[in-house]
Amino acid sequence: MNEFTIPALRPPDAALAATIQAKIDTKTKPLGALGQLEALARQVALIQQTITPVLHRPHVLVFAADHGIAAAGVSAYPADVTHQMVRNFAAGGAAINVFCRLHGLELRVVDAGVRGSFADLPAARNQKIAEGTRNFLHEPAMTPAEMHRALNLGAALVSEVHGTGCNVVGFGEMGIANTSSAAVLLHRLGGVPLADCVGRGTGLDAAGLARKHAVLAAAVAAHPAVDGTDPLAVLATFGGFEIAQLCGAMLRAAELGMVLLIDGFIASAALLVAWRLAPAVLPSCVFSHESAEGGHPHLLRVLSAQPLLRLGLRLGEGSGCALAYPLVQAAVAFFNDMASFESAGVSQVAAD
Ligand SMILES: O=C(O)c1ccc[n+]([C@@H]2O[C@H](COP(=O)([O-])O)[C@@H](O)[C@H]2O)c1
Ligand SMILES: Cc1cc2nc[nH]c2cc1C
C-alpha cells in the first residue's frame, strides 16, 4: 500500500502583508470601502507571494462516488442518480457545466467510486476505488488501503491540472447520501452535536430528517472507538471515496501554492479532514458560499470561515465555486488595475 504523505504545510510568509495593505490603501476609494474584496485581494496576493497576482486557467474538479449508507434510506433521491448525473456532467448539461462555461472555468469530472462503468465516457476520469463505499451503519466505509489510494489519486489529479498552468481550483462533488458522511465527519472532527450536523440534503421532509438522524446516531454508536482524535480513522470509517479524493486534492493544491475555492457542505467536510491533518491548508482557502444545508454554518464556524455568498444553494457539484469565481477575479482586478490617489490626482485628505 502506498501511504498518502501528509504535506508539511506552512502558512504563507507574512513579510509582504504590509506592502500588500499599503497598495490597497493607496487605491482611489475610502479606506476599507471594498470590504471583503480587500480581504480576498490580500489573501490571493499572500498565497502567490506577489503584489501583482494573476489567476490562470481556473478549474473545477468534481469528484463523484456512491455511498453504502444510501441503503439505509437517508436521501430523498435514489442512489442511481449519482451515476446518471456523472453522465449529465459528461454531456455538459448540469448546473456546474453551465456556470463553468459562463465564467470561463475548465471542468474535470472524476469517477472516484460510482457504481457502474463509464468506459464509454472518456470525459469521466476513472479514479474508481470501488463500486461505492460499504454501509458504515454496519462496517467501516472503506479500508485504510482504499482511503490512502483515494487521497493519492485526488492529489495526483491536482498535480496534473497544476502542470497545465492552473493556479486556482474549485472543489465539487456528487454522491447520493454524501451529506450523511459529511454530517458524521463534522460531528466527530468538529465536535458539533450530531443534531446540528444532520440536514435535509437533497430535500428530505421532517419524517425523513428524523429517520436520517436516527440512522446516523446508530452509525456513530456502532463505531465507539472512532472518536475525533484520528482524522484518517474517521475518514475511513464514515467515507466516502469522493470526500477522501477531495481531501488529498485540497492538500496537494495548498502545497502547490494554488488558490482553493471551497464549495458547500460536503466539500467543506473534506476540507475539515484536511485541516485536522494540516491546519495550514486554511489560508489557501476561499469559501465560496454558505450552503442551505443545516450543518454548513456550523462547519464554517469551526473553520472560522467567511463565505463570499449566501444564496440558499444546496446543490454541490462545485456550483458555488463557479458562481463565486468572478468575485475572486474582481478582487485581483481592483488590486492590479485601480488607479492610486497619486496617479489619478484625487485628494486623500480633507481640505482645511
Ligand atoms: O453542497 C452542499 O452544500 C449540498 C447540500 C445538499 C445536497 N448536496 C448534494 O446532494 C447530494 C447529497 O444529498 P443527500 O440528501 O443524498 O445526502 C450530493 O450529490 C451533493 O452534491 C450538496
Ligand atoms: C438531480 C440531482 C443533481 C445533483 N447534483 C448534485 N447533487 C445532486 C443530487 C440530485 C438529486
Shared domain check, 105 and 48: no
Q: Is the CB of 190 under 6 A from ligand 1?
A: no
Verify that 228 and 284 share a domain, yes or no: yes
The verdict on 210 and 276 lying in the same domain is yes
Claim to verify: residue 83 and residue 49 sit in the same structural domain: no
Q: The CATH number of the domain where 259 resides is what?
A: 3.40.50.10210
Rounded CA separation 288/286 (Å): 6
For ligand 1, whether the C-beta of 255 sits within 6 Å is no
- Smallest CA-to-CA distance from 178 within 67, 78, 101 is with 67
- The single-letter code of the amino acid at 167 is N
Nearest to 268 by CA among 280, 282, 283, 252: 282
Range of the domain at 168: 59-327
The enclosing domain of 28 has a CATH number of 1.10.1610.10
Sheet holding 59-65, edge to edge: 124-126, 106-113, 59-65, 168-174, 259-262, 285-287
Confidence (pLDDT) at 341: 97
Asked whether the beta carbons of 293 and 192 are under 8 A apart, the reply is no
Digit-by-digit pLDDT tens for the chain (352 residues) are 699 999 999 999 999 999 999 999 999 999 999 999 999 999 999 999 999 999 999 999 999 999 999 999 999 999 999 999 999 999 999 999 999 999 999 999 999 999 999 999 999 999 999 999 999 999 999 999 999 999 999 999 999 999 999 999 999 999 999 999 999 999 999 999 999 999 999 999 999 999 999 999 999 999 999 999 999 999 999 999 999 999 999 999 999 999 999 999 999 999 999 999 999 999 999 999 999 999 999 999 999 999 999 999 999 999 999 999 999 999 999 999 999 999 999 999 776 6
Cell readout for 55 is 489567476
pLDDT at site 190: 98
Q: Are 25 and 158 members of one domain?
A: no
Q: Which protein residue has the closest C-alpha to ligand 1 atom 11?
A: 176
Q: Are residues 66 and 47 in the same domain?
A: no
Domain membership flag for residue 351: no
Task: Check whether residue 179 and residue 235 sit in a common domain.
Answer: yes
Domain shared by 68 and 181, yes or no: yes
Specify the long-range contacts of residues 107-110, CB closer than 8 Å, at least 24 apart.
107/59, 107/60, 107/62, 107/318, 108/59, 108/60, 108/61, 108/62, 108/157, 108/161, 109/62, 109/64, 110/61, 110/62, 110/63, 110/64, 110/157, 110/242, 110/245
Residues with Cβ within 8 Å of residue 58, at least 6 apart in sequence: 103, 104, 105, 106, 166, 168, 169, 170, 325
Examine the domain organization and report whether 309 and 231 are in the same domain. Answer: yes
CA distance 143 to 102: 40
Tell me whether residue 8 is in a domain. no
CB of residue 316 inside a 6 A radius of ligand 2: yes
Instruction: Out of 146, 160, 317, 342, pick the active-site residue.
Output: 317
The reply to whether 230 and 287 lie within a common domain is: yes
Q: Which residues pair with 174 in a beta bridge?
A: 64
**Is 317 tagged catalytic?**
yes
